């Protein structure tokens, strides 16, 4: 059982003393899950907000154990996985909401979508997988609406005393205005993944590609590809042909999803600013490349 120091530091930065208490309980939670679900824990994957580790069942089946600080987003992920029931996404095998722990199908071989050299092919595959996920939300659900999911963007200007800090003012003003316009439109809402990008789509055995880590958000399907537009975040913003490739992605997504291209573009601008703002709020670094895509999207909007 290994809890990396950088994960400990990250959790303390986010949750403070309550995070320290949770970290103190984490070994006991992991031991309880291992005993109850009859799994052998292996070394964890690279960690961010949750403790995620490879594991093996008593019969040799490879699985994944995920344990997180109990919060609404974690519960929404469990509920989304339960509702999807393996359609286009890894299967939920067991869950303990009180402990924030759940057992998942391990997606193997698990090569991420960003490894495909052909960007057009990767975009088309992404569209095919996300379409499998879209379905009506269950009755009396507790999933956040897209309005609530995106409302954090309204905190940006107040945080900077009416200014926009490191954000280009025109990009921020456009994103806030577009959000209001898009949310006012009458569209058929579906259960969205909510964080659909190249690193959350993996090669699998029971079908060619499966998604992982759904957030579970109810709203406009045109929002779903927005995170895909600036990923892989470590390489795509720096490509010399990025503006052309961005236009190609929008074209492919609009055609394959049968969604208006302009609507995909507008949600892309909204989510781009929102994503960077979330990073700023969480005191995270490395968000600057995302704004490159945001400015390219804004330029595309003006064409």
* Dmax (CA) of the chain: 59
The pLDDT of 92-116, averaged and rounded, is 97
Instruction: Kindly state the tokens that stand for 247.
Output: 């236009």
pLDDT at 303 over 90: no
* Other beta carbons less than 10 A from residue 163's beta carbon: 11
Q: Provide Rg for the chain, Cα atoms.
A: 19
pLDDT at site 283: 80
Per the CB < 8 A criterion, the answer to whether 125 and 225 are in contact is no
Give the architecture-level CATH label for domain 113-302: Alpha-Beta Complex (3.90)
137 DSSP 8-state letter: P
Angle at 288 between CA 236 and CA 227, to 5 degrees: 50
Per the CB < 8 A criterion, the answer to whether 228 and 148 are in contact is no
Report d(CA 51, CA 4) in Å as an integer. 10
Q: What's the mean pLDDT when you consider all of the chain?
A: 95
Convert the pLDDT of each residue in 193-225 to its tens digit. Answer: 999 999 999 999 999 999 999 999 999 999 999
For CATH 3.90.1200.10, the residue range(s) in the chain are 113-302
Task: Give the CA count within 13 Å in the CB-facing half-sphere of 41.
Answer: 23
**What percent of the chain is predicted at pLDDT more than 90?**
91
Instruction: Spell 221-251 as b/e; 16+ CB within 10 A means b.
Output: bbbbbbbbbbbbbeebbeeeebeebbeebbe
For CATH 3.30.200.20, the residue range(s) in the chain are 5-105
Class of CATH domain 5-105 = alpha beta
Report d(CA 58, CA 159) in Å as an integer. 51
Convert the pLDDT of each residue in 31-79 to its tens digit. Answer: 999 999 999 999 899 898 899 999 999 999 999 999 999 899 999 999 9
Confidence bin at 3 (pLDDT 50/70/90): confident
pLDDT at site 13: 85
């Amino acid at each position: 059982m290994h809890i990396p120091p950088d994960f400990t530091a990250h959790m303390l930065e986010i949750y403070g003393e309550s995070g320290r208490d949770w970290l103190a309980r984490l070994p006991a939670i992991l031991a309880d899950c291992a005993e109850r679900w009859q799994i052998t824990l292996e070394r964890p994957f690279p960690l961010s907000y949750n403790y995620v580790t490879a594991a093996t069942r008593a019969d040799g089946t490879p699985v994944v154990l995920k344990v997180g600080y109990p919060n609404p987003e974690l519960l929404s992920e469990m509920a989304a996985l339960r509702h999807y029931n393996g359609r286009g996404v890894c299967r939920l095998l067991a869950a303990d909401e009180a402990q924030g722990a759940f057992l998942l199908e391990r997606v193997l071989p698990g090569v991420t979508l960003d490894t495909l050299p052909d960007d057009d092919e990767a975009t088309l595959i992404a569209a095919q997988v996300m379409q499998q996920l879209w379905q009506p939300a269950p009755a009396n659900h507790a999933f956040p609406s897209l309005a609530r999911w995106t409302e954090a963007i309204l905190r940006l200007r107040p945080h900077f005393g009416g200014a926009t800090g490191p954000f280009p003012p025109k990009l921020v003003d456009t994103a806030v205005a577009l959000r209001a316009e898009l949310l006012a439109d009458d569209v058929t809402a579906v259960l969205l993944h909510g964080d659909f990008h190249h690193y959350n789509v993996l090669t699998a055995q029971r079908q060619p590609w499966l998604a992982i880590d759904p957030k579970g958000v109810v709203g406009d399907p045109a929002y779903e590809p927005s995170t895909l537009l600036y990923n892989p975040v470590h390489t795509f913003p720096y490509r010399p042909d990025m503006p052309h490739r961005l236009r190609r992605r929008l074209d492919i997504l609009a055609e394959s999803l049968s969604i208006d291209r302009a609507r995909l573009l507008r949600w892309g601008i909204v989510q781009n600013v929102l994503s960077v703002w979330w990073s700023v709020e969480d005191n995270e670094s490395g968000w600057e490349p995302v704004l490159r895509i945001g400015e390219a999207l804004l330029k595309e909007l003006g064409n």
